[in-house]
Amino acid sequence: MYTGSMILLCVIAAVYTASVSLGKEYDLQVINLLRSTRYGRRNLLCNKLLSVSFFVFITAILVRIPMLQQIGRQYPMELWNVRVQSLSSASQFTGNYTIAEYVILVFVGQFLGMMILVFTVMALSTWVKDSIITMVIAAVVFILPLILEWNGFFVVSQFSLNGILETHRLLQSSNTVKVCYAMMFIIALPCVCIWSFHKTCKGSR
């Protein structure tokens, strides 16, 4: 049920898209031209965020299509109220969820993880002001931890977005781990991004 390679490809695509989304505006000095307009930066930022959000939504669906197909072959949707452990591919799953709850939570987690990722990369670009450097930093922060974890360095999942991107694993974690992830990556990190975007709209970046 876990499509790790698809997640990695989507993260790479998201990092690239988010890096060049605002980074190119700094590369081409377009962001400075918008200083002369009253709402230029805000409109640009809103349009960029909307376009990237749409990309993330489509990506979150595409990355889970194999999982939905696999479940659909075993159980039609009207039987999705049974426990997820009834699926042969999830027999070792420890969470107490139905198939429907599992599918919804995995999709929501994937979407949230990708949104947090692209927002963070876009916020980073307002500080770095260079698309290439932003891309390199984002690759080290988001892509490298996925590769390291899949090669046996499981400790990195505690300090990265891996837990949200790999939602099926987070669902099996303790409540303490879930709360920590929520505090760090769903509350604190987006707040920092919003503050950075606010500075950009005000012309401080």
Counting the structural domains of the chain, the total is 1
pLDDT computed for residue 1 by the predictor: 43
Mean pLDDT across the stretch 65-83? 80
Say how many residues make up the chain.
205
Percent pLDDT > 90 in the chain is 1
Mean pLDDT value across the chain = 78
CB atoms within 10 A of CB 117: 25
Q: Which of 39, 1, 54, 47 is nearest to 167 (CA)?
A: 1
pLDDT computed for residue 6 by the predictor: 73
Say if residues 158 and 178 touch (Cβ distance below 8 Å).
no
CB atoms within 10 A of CB 94: 9
pTM for this entry: 0.78
Residue, of 3 and 171, whose pLDDT is higher: 171
pLDDT band per the 50, 70, 90 thresholds, residue 96: confident
List, for residues 129-172, the tens digit of each pLDDT value. 888 888 899 888 888 888 887 787 777 766 777 777 777 777 77
Does residue 23 have a pLDDT over 80?
no
Distances (CA, A) of 191 to 180, 186, 198: 15, 9, 10
Going along the chain, which residue ranges are E strands? none
| Token code pair at residue 21 | 């989304």
Does residue 77 have a pLDDT over 80?
no
pLDDT computed for residue 32 by the predictor: 59
List, for residues 182-205, the tens digit of each pLDDT value. 888 888 888 998 888 877 777 655
Does residue 33 have a pLDDT over 60?
no
Mean pLDDT across the stretch 48-55? 82
pLDDT computed for residue 166 by the predictor: 74
Residue, of 90 and 75, whose pLDDT is higher: 75
Print the domain residue range for 173: 4-201
